[in-house]
Structure 1
Amino acid sequence: MAGSDVLSQSEIDDLLSALSTGVVSAEEIKDEQKQRKIKVYDFKRPDKFSKDQIRTLYMLHENFARLMNTYLSAHLRTLVHIDVASVDQLTYEEFIRSLPNPSVIGVFQMRPLKGNAILELNPNVIFSIIDRLFGGPGLPPAKTRSLTDIEEAIVKRVINKTLECFSDAWKQVVAIEPKLEIIESNPQFTQIVPPNDMVVIITLHVKIGQVEGLVNICIPYLVLEPIMSKLTTTYWVASSVAKQALPEHINAIQRKLEKAFIPLYVELGRTTVTVQELLGLVVNDVLQLESKIENDLNVIVGQREKFRGKPGLSGHKVALQITQVISEGDENYD
């Protein structure tokens, strides 16, 4: 495999054929794996991403998986489960060779970062989504095929929403504006970087109902190179904490809260009657309340007693003069 961790379709067929004909046995493969203690390193394709950067990308896309899970569950109205299966670095050629043909490949920009990235959706996943959106049970066709024009229009809407979730997940590191450029079906026609360039592949495992498949996000090293210093767990955690405590964010939340409408009413008094008495009420009947005329009235904010005051007039309008502020329980509403 020339140092590659990704098998092409022909290599997979040859291996299955060898197993079925008895040329090689599964036990021999296991023994060989146990004996091999040396990890092959190809100096022509050096690792571009450190372990810490891979870990950061993993955590970042765990957030992306949660956002996508929420969107698809609500949009498809079915049980959806998405999690990050792996984050690997390999050459672009190895990634392209691993994709089925036909496939659904969305090429998108990550502005202001230069260059393009790829969102590849397994045909089983995308046809399950299409079938659900068209009112079906969410089952893919028996034979994989290319998208029709109508299906491609639907897929573009799904991918655009997916890219919005992608942008939300990445804002902890850098603010990006992803933009879908084109949808391809043949991996060989998708060349965003030279074949030997290193890329990072984030693989998501998607389960929609009873249908399972993979979604791959391919980001070239050249695209991420300007922000490599930010792809560390220390920066990622520090950035998320700092954003929560920024004074401008606190002020913005306070301004929005101050504009919120809440119900406020004055309670003149209470009384209890039976259902029979309630049914017998007629015009001009008098109900005796428990409150006395000299007592302060309760002012209800939301569902809590917050003030007490005396009723009166302000000009020709009914008014209330606040005489007491009730602060009990405020510590629970900080």
Structure 2
Amino acid sequence: MSEDVLSQGEIDALLSAISSGEMDADELKEQKQEERKVRDYDFKRALRFSKDQIRGLTRIHENFARLLTSFFAGQLRSFSEVSVASVDQVPYEEFVRSMPQRTVLNIFSVEPLEGRIMYEVNPNIAYAILDRTLGGEGKSSNKVDSLTEIESRIMSRLFEKAFESLEEAWGSLVEIDLTLEEFEVNPQFIQMVSPNETVVIVSLNAQIGETSGMMNICIPHMVLEPIISKLSVHYWMQKEKTKSSPEDAEHLSKSLNNVDVEAKVLLGESGVSIEEFLKLNQEDVIMLNQSIEEPLVMHINNEPKFYVQPGKQKRHMAVQILGETRGEEE
């Protein structure tokens, strides 16, 4: 609970009043206790996720939003953009009341985790996606009440395929297998958890062509409970600091030994004008800026690495390494 901060003038006046006897310290203390505000606490909205865990969920679903953007762009051949708008924890009943009376609902099981998650897509964006899938311009026409069986089938398959990106996004946390169990348009027919159960709502802003709308992912607490400890920033930091095993290091070293690199030695350079270049004839001599008394430089992948001297090995041109450049050329 926040408290008012006194200015320096108010502090001086208060100390002066106490020292002069105009105000008693005990009286001031009692007055302060009487003025203390009481904050209401709603037990129906018990917060079961810390801010750190919410940040972890936000990070995961920001990656999901990027994957979903790529999926819709490739699938629909249209401008697509998906971004995370917010990540909140609310009672399930409150989430259901916030949804339209008719909307597109996809219910997924989350093996090996318990429970199910809901993927709610606003009808405006859902029909724009359907229209674009069927070869249209991606215009929206809200007709959830009159969905045909073919339209429902196409839409459910499309969202089931889109949700494969969530498996990839969650892969850094836990391996899951999502399976579409229900496709519904009436939120009142879906009762995943008790009304007071805390759920995490990931709200996504989606734009397909010129149509924009919201998509929401509802994740009950019981789904996340087995992996809730992995949502903290400490888990991610420990995971990043995890050292590779000796077998991994040995395998990496062997792989690096087989990598080809380009090694070349520059004998020298020279600069000529265009006029001199045009007048060059056979047997003309161009002087290089490299002295025969100084070593040459061997470049490895265009980076200076060794000092060398030229020579011959049997019938082949060769160089002998004299030492490392140690960054002098840089």
CA contact (8 A) 2:156 2:183 kept: no
CA contact (8 A) 2:102 2:187 kept: no
- Structure 2 residue 165 is the aligned partner of structure 1 residue 161: yes
- 3-state SS, counterpart of residue 202 of structure 1: strand
Q: Deviations over 1:125-159 (max 9, x none)?
A: 3444556677876x541324444544544433322
CA contact (8 A) 1:202 1:218 kept: yes
> Aligned residues: percent identity?
23
Aligned counterpart, 1:121: 121
**Change over 3 Å in CA distance of 1:240–1:281 after alignment to 2:** farther
Aligned counterpart, 1:198: 197
**Following TM superposition, by how much is the alpha carbon of 1:88 offset from its aligned partner in structure 2, in angstroms?**
1.6
CA contact (8 A) 1:106 1:180 kept: no
Question: Map of 1:1-334 to 2, 5 A cutoff?
Answer: 38-42=40-44, 47=46, 49-50=47-48, 53-74=49-70, 76=73, 78=79, 80=81, 82-91=83-92, 93-100=93-100, 102-129=102-129, 139-145=138-144, 146=147, 147=151, 149-165=153-169, 167-168=170-171, 171=172, 174-182=173-181, 184-188=183-187, 191=190, 193-196=192-195, 198-208=197-207, 211-231=211-231, 236-248=232-244, 251=249, 255=253, 261-279=260-278, 286-328=285-327
Q: Deviations over 1:40-75 (max 9, x none)?
A: 545xxx73x43xx24234212322343244335555
**Following TM superposition, by how much is the alpha carbon of 1:102 offset from its aligned partner in structure 2, in angstroms?**
4.6
Paired with 1:123 and 1:161, the residues of 2 have a C-alpha distance of: 21
Instruction: Return 118-127 or 187-196, whichever deviates more.
Output: 187-196
Paired with 1:327 and 1:311, the residues of 2 have a C-alpha distance of: 20
**Following TM superposition, by how much is the alpha carbon of 1:298 offset from its aligned partner in structure 2, in angstroms?**
1.6
Paired with 1:143 and 1:304, the residues of 2 have a C-alpha distance of: 62
Paired with 1:83 and 1:313, the residues of 2 have a C-alpha distance of: 65
- 3-state SS, counterpart of residue 114 of structure 1: coil
CA contact (8 A) 1:130 1:155 kept: no
Paired with 1:217 and 1:253, the residues of 2 have a C-alpha distance of: 41
Work out the number of aligned pairs and report it. Answer: 279
CA contact (8 A) 2:160 2:180 kept: no
Letter in 1 for 2:299: I
Instruction: Return 98-107 or 318-327, whichever deviates more.
Output: 98-107
**Change over 3 Å in CA distance of 1:309–1:212 after alignment to 2:** same
Paired with 1:242 and 1:109, the residues of 2 have a C-alpha distance of: 30
Instruction: Return 209-218 or 69-78, whichever deviates more.
Output: 69-78
- 3-state SS, counterpart of residue 241 of structure 1: helix
Q: Deviations over 1:154-183 (max 9, x none)?
A: 433322124322x15xx3xx3232423346
**Change over 3 Å in CA distance of 1:243–1:120 after alignment to 2:** same
Q: Deviations over 1:247-293 (max 9, x none)?
A: 20894996576665554322221111223444555676553322133
**Change over 3 Å in CA distance of 1:257–1:80 after alignment to 2:** farther
**Following TM superposition, by how much is the alpha carbon of 1:122 offset from its aligned partner in structure 2, in angstroms?**
2.2
**Change over 3 Å in CA distance of 1:81–1:269 after alignment to 2:** same
CA contact (8 A) 1:104 1:183 kept: no
Paired with 2:106 and 2:259, the residues of 1 have a C-alpha distance of: 41
- 3-state SS, counterpart of residue 244 of structure 2: helix
CA contact (8 A) 1:125 1:206 kept: no
Q: RMSD across aligned C-alpha pairs, in angstroms?
A: 4.0
Paired with 1:277 and 1:295, the residues of 2 have a C-alpha distance of: 27
Paired with 1:284 and 1:101, the residues of 2 have a C-alpha distance of: 90
CA contact (8 A) 1:125 1:211 kept: yes
**Change over 3 Å in CA distance of 1:186–1:328 after alignment to 2:** same
Q: Deviations over 1:172-203 (max 9, x none)?
A: xx323242334613245875734446141323
Gap regions ≥5 residues in structure 2: 1-38
Gap regions ≥5 residues in structure 1: 1-36
**Which has the greater radius of gyration?**
2
Q: Deviations over 1:284-314 (max 9, x none)?
A: 6553322133432222233432222123344
- 3-state SS, counterpart of residue 192 of structure 2: coil
Paired with 2:106 and 2:281, the residues of 1 have a C-alpha distance of: 71
CA contact (8 A) 2:307 2:321 kept: yes
Paired with 2:304 and 2:159, the residues of 1 have a C-alpha distance of: 52
